[in-house]
Structure 1
Amino acid sequence: MQGTVQGFHYGLVTPVAAYVMACLGGALGLRCITRSLHNEASWKGGWLALGAAAIGCGIWTMHFIAMVGFQVEEVRIGYDVPLTVLSLAVAIVVVGIGVFIVGYRGARPATLATAGVVTGLGVAAMHYIGMAAIRLDGDIRYDTATVAVSVVIAIVAATAALWASVSVHGFLPSLGASLVMGIAVSGMHYTGMAAMSVHLHATSGASWDGDSPTSLLLPMLIGPVVFLLLAGVVVMFDPLLVLGDGDWSRGPAAGDAPAGTPGSFFEPGARRSEQQPVPPRDGGR
């Protein structure tokens, strides 16, 4: 028996909210990566890690907010918690691999392509591990060609995001890039969802006896959302957030800040030289 799949049970609420979270994660990640690449005083590893976690959490949160609106009319569905958490870990770790490749090896075409493929496959893996976490009285099947299209979209989106992180320096251009990235990531998700079909078991009266999707997913979404908000606070208070091209490598000018004032959460104080007074010659005469 073929199940009736609904991907928009709550109308536009879930896809719009999912898109916003994808954009937020992308915007934070792009600014962190750009900050690490274009300012020598930055703690590169810290900014790259924060950027990878922001993008990974944004993509994962987008996926499961969208899944709140997913239903199969004939049966009740639930989620396996360990697999759901594993999908979050995969998203952060594999996105991190791609981000660190670009961060430390540069943005040469071959490097960017390798990082984009790794990151895109990580995004696709997160999606399909999250789908494997679904529990219902039936079998989920996928159309191979549509799955392949979703993976290609993920790779293209990841490559474009990494390219933007090394090529777009201003705040407004980065914001525009994150909006495009949100469209691409959301497009990958809903393309993957279009590839699936549900074939119910013969005992159609049975249903999943666990917790409902909302009661499972909403508590798990709290952690990544809080992290994205905290990451946003860190990025917004960074003094180089809105600097454009040409200013990233400029050190603090005289009079910019009092001596000893820290420049950023991820800017070690040991790297910020302080002007020491030069003793006058001839006893100050």
Structure 2
Amino acid sequence: MGHLDHAAYGWLTPVLSYAMACIGAALGLRCTVQALAAPTARSRRNWLLTAASATGTGIWTMHFIAMLGFSVSGTEIRYDIPRTVLSLVVAMAVAGAGVFALGHLRARGPALLVAGLATGLGVAAMHYIGMSAVRLHGSIAYDLPAVALSVLIAVATATAALWAALTIRSPLAVTFAALVMGAAVTSMHYTGMAAVSVTVMPSSEALAGATATQFVFPLTVGLGSYLFLTSAFVALTPTAAERAATVSAQRLTRAPGAV
């Protein structure tokens, strides 16, 4: 049985992974709120697409930053590139299903349940597809009760975060919801990793796939840059209330007798 280390670099990878999860969640929630207040169908669609990409990217980046700190004694670790990319696509697709359900279903209660379920399952699907990309000298097994718990955590906390963001739309509420969703993604990851056990089978054969520094790290940096650029764009975009205030001010200045 190989010894598993989930924080080979100390607190660096857990803290960074949580931060990226929060940034992705904050962007996704902010874009979803913008979509719900969008004046046109096209604008709503664009905001929801941005929300899906930001949420999916944040989830994926969190997972693989955390995986940079994952090591197993007695074996090297490689990553299957197609499956790693598939995990990113799945994260974005399922996050997209969640935010589009939230943005288009008329009944808020069912929409919230569908969105929370889709987002939570998306987090779990991304995690376990990403884990299936791991290549090492040995075999990986999972404790099924811990796996089920990790999925339950993801769904429950994602639903709670979406509810908070949509019920109380203040910046403080969105920030709080992002912290909760970031915690959901991170706790789901480490709960899922607690379910892992590895039986090492020493071998001199070269492992297929890429190392974390060859593929995962550069892709993570690229996606992290995308999140920061998107953050700047969203921060500079006025909210519906700000747009309404601007229009009202313009009308007042154009009104007859205005100074």
Q: Secondary structure at the match of 1:187?
A: helix
Indicate if the aligned counterparts of 1:143 and 1:196 stay in contact, CA closer than 8 A: yes
The verdict on how the C-alpha distance between 1:27 and 1:102 changes in structure 2, with shifts beyond 3 A counting, is same
Q: Secondary structure at the match of 1:78?
A: strand
**Letter of the 1:100 counterpart:** F
How many Å separate the matches in 1 of 2:212 and 2:40? 45
Q: Secondary structure at the match of 1:250?
A: helix
The verdict on how the C-alpha distance between 1:179 and 1:25 changes in structure 2, with shifts beyond 3 A counting, is same
How many Å separate the matches in 1 of 2:223 and 2:44? 23
Higher helix proportion: 2
Match of residue 48 from structure 1: 48
**1:88-107 → structure 2 map (5 Å cutoff):** 88-106=88-106
Match of residue 10 from structure 1: 9
Match of residue 67 from structure 2: 67
Shift in Å at residue 77 of structure 1?
0.5
Match of residue 216 from structure 1: 215
Bigger radius of gyration among the two: 1
Q: Secondary structure at the match of 1:229?
A: helix
Match of residue 244 from structure 2: 250
Q: Secondary structure at the match of 1:40?
A: coil
Q: Report the count of equivalent residues.
A: 254
Shift in Å at residue 205 of structure 1?
5.5
What are the Cα deviations for residues 120-165 of structure 1, in whole angstroms up to 9, with x where unaligned?
1111000000000000011100000000000001111221232233
Indicate if the aligned counterparts of 2:13 and 2:66 stay in contact, CA closer than 8 A: yes
The verdict on how the C-alpha distance between 1:207 and 1:3 changes in structure 2, with shifts beyond 3 A counting, is farther
How many Å separate the matches in 2 of 1:86 and 1:138? 23
Indicate if the aligned counterparts of 2:81 and 2:209 stay in contact, CA closer than 8 A: no
1:117 aligns with 2:117: yes
**Letter of the 2:66 counterpart:** A
Indicate if the aligned counterparts of 1:75 and 1:207 stay in contact, CA closer than 8 A: no
Identity %: 46
RMSD: 2.4
**Letter of the 1:116 counterpart:** G
1:185 aligns with 2:185: yes
Indicate if the aligned counterparts of 1:76 and 1:207 stay in contact, CA closer than 8 A: no
Q: Secondary structure at the match of 1:146?
A: helix
Indicate if the aligned counterparts of 2:81 and 2:210 stay in contact, CA closer than 8 A: no
Match of residue 170 from structure 1: 170
